[in-house]
Structure 1
Amino acid sequence: MDILPKADYAIFSDTGMEAAATYKYLDFLLTWQQSNGGIPIIVCRDKNLYEDLLRTAEDGHEVSIPAFTANEDGSIGMLRRQCTHKYKIQVTSDYIRDHIYNLPKGSRRPPTAVWMGITTDEMERMAFPSEAWRINTYPLLGYYTTHKGECNHINWGIPMSRQDVVRWLVLHDLPIPTKSACVFCPYKSDAAWAEQREFAPEDFAAAVNIDEAIRDSSHKGIKNPVFLHRSCTPLKEVGFDPRQSQAWGECSGNCHI
């Protein structure tokens, strides 16, 4: 069944409000791992982006997601993105330091291959690590990248498209996962928003909660209202175009995988 070398650990950084389908798949993986001696799965819940965003309006807690707001000239701008680094990359990096290598804070980690499941049809999502110890490794592309800006081939990688991965899962009677992302992520197409509203109403309600919580971001120096949808319209009022299937941005290759 194995087509790649076996990783030492699988780490999932839970931001607090992933899609219900993602949590269901996580439960399946945890059960499968126990029954089949799979890769140890670590679930990190150190930080909760959903709760932090809800309370930011109350106490000015500094959290920034790439939401939309109107510029003074009427054009639509996007806020600075901190969530990927703070709630994904930093959490997994800290776990590697604290629990895998058992190093004190401030210690230098040894070079470590961090695998990410980006496929050939989204190769542009490869990224260079911001820390020298990380080696961003892409088994489904056959490449790794380094802090020095190197992009090198790995001879054990197996280039696969997303459809190839789906086909492999089906052939092995395994369920097909959805893309992992916060339910309120602004990097979402209209088609994805419409699907969420129709088929995952609880997830959509949580997104509406965040959309309303971030509206007044004046404590961050943002003068105009802030929205999750690019139209700068309250999410619960948007008429989504199901034909619009292109996401509005890129999360640096650490989410939506």
Structure 2
Amino acid sequence: MKRIISLGLGLQSTGMYFMSCKGLLPKADFAIFSDTGMEAEASYKYLQWLLNWQRDNCGIPIIVCRDKNLFEDLLHSSPDVHNVSIPAFTANEDGSIGMLRRQCTHKYKIQVINDYIRDHIYGLSKGARRPPTAIWLGISTDEIERMAYPQQSWCINTYPYLGYYTTHKGECNHIDWARPMNSQDIVRWLVLQGLPIPTKSACVFCPYKSDAAWAAQKEFAPQDFASAIRIDEAIRNSTPKGVNSPVYLHRSCTPLATVDFDPEQKQNWGECSGTCHI
């Protein structure tokens, strides 16, 4: 059975990649990163460093998929382009704040990786049955609530940091070779190995941000913040998608460029599954 690391460029999945390369975990066959088109500048720099490390150390092959570009699709939305919604905010007529459905992760992350596995790793036609495949997901013990069952029958969700794998049939079984770890355990291991710690990976315009995160992006990554403003302005009128109220990236339902962020507000908005940046 092939082992595929779902590489999100975050702490857990990157640590999982290194542990597999160095023999602490079984050797995976591939690591796949799906680029949505506008990750943080720091994440792209880390990706390039990681690709160089993989080349110089004969590491597990890293595949970067750029088949779909969420940034461009949102920026140039038109009736001719089928777009999915991001979990942005709307102000209802009664004054309450609503949130759009999060469809982006499935189409621009999960589906892209699944299609690559079908088309290139197995060389199958669309609709063909894929053999059972272990998809490694970097969820640590302090995030165990994120463990989930796969939607596809061929997919076996494998959690090396939790010690379990789950199947489409609702099974949850123990992994003998697992290395249960929390996020701090992973940080310590990377430090002891002399490896750089990756920053949190996510689209620069992801609405699942605290004010503190927005403020930090504005101050320390102004180019990323400028890109987020472009998306915030582009999605304002989402009537072609059936959303009649104006749409915003920030919970206050005001233009991102004018928000006075509270650096003490550190709680993320929304129920982020973390799938994008594990």
2:114 maps to 1:99: no
1:108 deviates by 0.7
1:246 deviates by 1.8
Q: Which contiguous aligned blocks of 4+ residues in structure 1 show a shift greater than 6 angstroms?
A: none
With over 3 angstroms needed to count, the CA separation of the structure-2 counterparts of 1:174 and 1:34, relative to structure 1, is same
C-alpha distance in 1 between matches for 2:235 and 2:244: 12
1:211 deviates by 0.3
With over 3 angstroms needed to count, the CA separation of the structure-2 counterparts of 1:111 and 1:190, relative to structure 1, is same
Q: SS where residue 255 of structure 1 aligns?
A: helix
5 Å matches for 1:30-69?
30-56=51-77, 59=80, 61-69=82-90
Question: Which one-letter code corresponds to 2:46 in the other structure?
Answer: Y
Under a length normalisation based on structure 1, what TM-score does the superposition of the two structures give? 0.96
C-alpha distance in 1 between matches for 2:144 and 2:210: 19
5 Å matches for 1:211-226?
211-226=232-247
C-alpha distance in 1 between matches for 2:113 and 2:102: 18
1:60 deviates by 5.9
Question: Which one-letter code corresponds to 1:94 in the other structure?
Answer: D
1:238 deviates by 1.1
1:151 deviates by 2.2
With over 3 angstroms needed to count, the CA separation of the structure-2 counterparts of 1:166 and 1:118, relative to structure 1, is same
Identify the residue that residue 142 of structure 1 maps to in structure 2: 163
5 Å matches for 1:61-140?
61-140=82-161
1:212 deviates by 0.4
2:188 maps to 1:167: yes
C-alpha distance in 1 between matches for 2:232 and 2:70: 13
Across the aligned residues of Structure 1 and Structure 2, the Cα RMSD in angstroms comes to 1.4
2:225 maps to 1:204: yes
How many pairs align?
Answer: 257
C-alpha distance in 2 between matches for 1:93 and 1:196: 31
1:192 deviates by 1.0
Q: Deviations over 1:163-192 (max 9, x none)?
A: 111111111111000122100011111111
Q: SS where residue 152 of structure 2 aligns?
A: coil
Contact residue 60 and residue 219 of structure 1 kept, 8 A: no
Aligned-residue sequence identity (percent) comes to 76
Under a length normalisation based on structure 2, what TM-score does the superposition of the two structures give? 0.89
Contact residue 57 and residue 214 of structure 1 kept, 8 A: no
Structure 1, unpaired ranges of 5+: none
Most deviating of 40-49 and 162-171: 162-171
C-alpha distance in 2 between matches for 1:69 and 1:224: 6
Contact residue 39 and residue 201 of structure 2 kept, 8 A: yes
C-alpha distance in 2 between matches for 1:92 and 1:219: 28
2:250 maps to 1:229: yes
Most deviating of 164-173 and 72-81: 72-81
Q: SS where residue 180 of structure 2 aligns?
A: coil
C-alpha distance in 2 between matches for 1:35 and 1:60: 41
C-alpha distance in 2 between matches for 1:242 and 1:91: 35
With over 3 angstroms needed to count, the CA separation of the structure-2 counterparts of 1:111 and 1:246, relative to structure 1, is same
Q: SS where residue 276 of structure 2 aligns?
A: coil
C-alpha distance in 2 between matches for 1:77 and 1:147: 32
Contact residue 101 and residue 109 of structure 1 kept, 8 A: yes
C-alpha distance in 2 between matches for 1:126 and 1:248: 20
Contact residue 211 and residue 227 of structure 1 kept, 8 A: yes
